[in-house]
Structure 1
Amino acid sequence: MADIARITGVSPMTVSRAFKGDSLIRRETREAILKTAEDMGYVFDSTASNLRSQRTGFVAVTIPSINNANFADTVAGLSEVLAGAGMQILLGYTNYDVENEERLIEQLLRRKPQAIVVTGGKHTPRARRLLENAQIPVIETWDVPADPIGHYVGFSNADAVRGMVDHFVRIGYQRIAFLGGDTSRDTRGSDRRRGFISAMKKHGLDPTRLIAAGTPPISMREGAIAMARLLSDFPDTEAVICVSDLSAFGALTECQRQGFSVPGRIAVGGFGNYEIADICVPTLTTIDARAREIGSRAGSLILGILDGGAQLDHVLIGPELILRQSSG
């Protein structure tokens, strides 16, 4: 800024005020300063100003997968709301690993975000202490934590799958299986599996048709492999609920490969309402978690807290069961 000030014949303070859009700076002066900065390739460093105001202008976010359409939609919804207030996000990728999440939370908090958004409500004890002591808004998403750290925006993954089981039973299916959710790495997947088991028991049906699908994120290929195992181990299965739409699409293709009609021979359900669910053949019955709304509601909650509004808020999102061709 001293170089720009010397070239334009003003003080460094005037340069700083021009970058901040101070209305007291004459338009001609500000334009000259900005042009000089552009010619020099200079980018205004707001760090010192942010330290004084205690506003860094960004929100830290952790997500378990960067190529998952649901989490991408959540980040997009969050980013859109924050951008309207001149804020940006700093993204951390956990790869469904709570130990990695702990390391990321520590690294992100060192950068002094104004808030932090984490995916899920289950963390290592140390990660939880870091969040509890952060003295900034903490938003847990995609879950309804048993013991919330601060705020949450989410839904019960178990209840969502219970609703799909109830529907399948209502339309006549009894021998129902669940594919995936077999590892503690994906706590939301595990909750979906748990919801399946409890719903089957409620209806007095066998809850043991459980097929492992591997380490998350579960791919289409892994879904196909798991479906082949299901058709071999439990050939009389009437319906299968998959932990995600990607695994469900893999299951659909395996049925086609083996000549099993869907839903004539076996019904298939997924989770997430990905774009592929609406264009595959047959189209896929699934659960819409309203991923983008989770992000936008989290963003609105953060802005309200930072503006001195909501002190503690829990936002419940209502997933929707989307009925399509794969369930009959």
Structure 2
Amino acid sequence: MSDLAELIGVTKVTVSRALNTPELVSSETLERVRAAVQQTGYTPDLIAGSLASNRSRLIVALIPAIAGSVFQETVAALTAELAAAGYQLLLGQSGYDESREDALLDAIVGRRPAGIVLTGVVHSEHAKQKLKASGIPVVETWDITRAPLDMLVGFSHQKVGEAAARYLRERGARRPAIVTPGDHRAQVRAQAFVKAFDTARDIPVVSVESPANLGDGRRALRRLLDAHPDIDAVYCGADIMALGVLMEARHRGLSIPGQLKVIGYGDQNFAVDTDPPLTTIRIDGTRIGKLAASMLVEKIETGAGKQRKVDVGFTLVERETA
């Protein structure tokens, strides 16, 4: 910054204002500073800046998976909303293992971000204690609990499972099965489905490691039909598994939904274009991201927030597979 000031012939304070609060300097000075920055390739030291101001402009979000996941809408909304407020988003991929989340939080908290966004509400005691002691604003997302760590934007996975069970039963299913990822939230949905379907018959379940893929869905239906050829419906804990189920059903010559009804979870961008279009449960990931960003920024900048907990609910999207 001193080099820039000398090059332009102004004070360091003027350069700082041009970079951080451009509305406080004249347009002529601002253009000179920007030209010098481009000429020299200068990049502000954000760590030094946050130490000097005791304020970071960095928000960290931990999500289980990035590629091809239901969390993409949330990440996109978080990025846009935070950028509009002058904050940058850094992503960490935590997987579905508490120990991985613990390791990331150990690395993150010491760097003093302005805020943290977490996926889910199930964390180790180590993580809970570290986050509470840090004093960093935290928003938990994509789940619900009566006792959030700080702030929360989510929905009930139990109610998702119950809604899927009611819908399939209303559509005439009597011998359902479940294919699901093995992570905690997916298991809550599956267990709620079993309880809500309310049948004396055991509901077969095939559970696979998270994150699940298309092939998992095909193999799961193969296993189910080999052991339970009379099943007439499948609840899938992820849309990508539902796509695999549809492919395997077609391979076996089963009509959808005549012989086999299928319902997914997530309403990912391909769901409307499957053949037939997939009945599924939609989560408004964009709204989750926008709310998480606004709640964080409000608490960071005012020390308090108007909202502590928001249940965004979900929507059962009726298409042609069930």
| Short-chain TM bin | over 0.9
**In 2, Cα distance between equivalents of 1:223 and 1:23:** 55
Equivalent pair of 1:218/1:247 in contact (CA under 8 Å): yes
Deviation at 1:104, TM superposition (A): 0.7
CA distance in 2, matches of 1:99, 1:274: 28
Partner of 2:6: 6
User: Shift of the alpha carbon at 1:208?
Assistant: 3.0
Q: TM-score, normalised by structure 1?
A: 0.93
SS in 1 for 2:250: helix
Greater shift in the superposed pair: 126-135 or 27-36? 27-36
Structure 1 residue corresponding to 2:305, chosen from 310, 317, 328: 310
1:324 to 2:307 alignment: no
For the residues of structure 2 that align with 1:88 and 1:242, how far apart are their CA atoms? 35
Secondary structure at the aligned position of 2:33 is classed as helix
Secondary structure of the residue aligned to 1:268 is: strand
Aligned mates of 1:265, 1:23 — CA distance in 2? 66
Are the aligned partners of 2:175 and 2:203 in contact in 1 as well (CA < 8 Å)? Answer: no
Distance 1:46 1:218 in 2: 38
**Deviation per residue, 1:255-295 (Å, 9 max, x gap):** 01111111111111100001111001011110001111111
User: Structure 2 unaligned runs (5+)?
Assistant: none
CA RMSD of aligned residues (A): 1.7
Q: Return 5+ residue gaps in structure 1 as ranges.
A: none
Alpha-carbon contact 2:22-2:30 (below 8 Å) kept: no
> What do the CA deviations read for 1:149-183 (whole angstroms, capped 9, x no partner)?
111110111211111101111222111111124x3
Which among 201, 210, 214 is matched to residue 205 of structure 2? 210
Of 238-247 and 25-34, more deviation after overlay is shown by 25-34
Is residue 177 of structure 2 the alignment partner of residue 177 of structure 1? yes
Q: Distance in 1 between matches of 2:112 and 2:133?
A: 13
From 282, 287, 312, give the equivalent of 2:281.
Answer: 287
Sequence identity percentage = 33
SS for the counterpart of 1:326 is coil
Question: How many residues of Structure 1 are paired with residues of Structure 2 in the alignment?
Answer: 321
- In the TM superposition, what are the counterparts of 1:1-328 in structure 2 within 5 Å? 1-181=1-181, 183=182, 186-200=183-197, 203-212=198-207, 214-308=208-302, 309-310=304-305, 313-327=308-322
Distance in structure 1 (CA, Å) of the matches to 2:317 and 2:130:
38
Q: Provide TM-score, normalisation by structure 2.
A: 0.94
CA distance in 2, matches of 1:148, 1:23: 39
Contact 1:120 1:187 survives alignment (8 Å): no
Whole-Å Cα distance in 2 between the matches of residues 68 and 150 of structure 1? 29
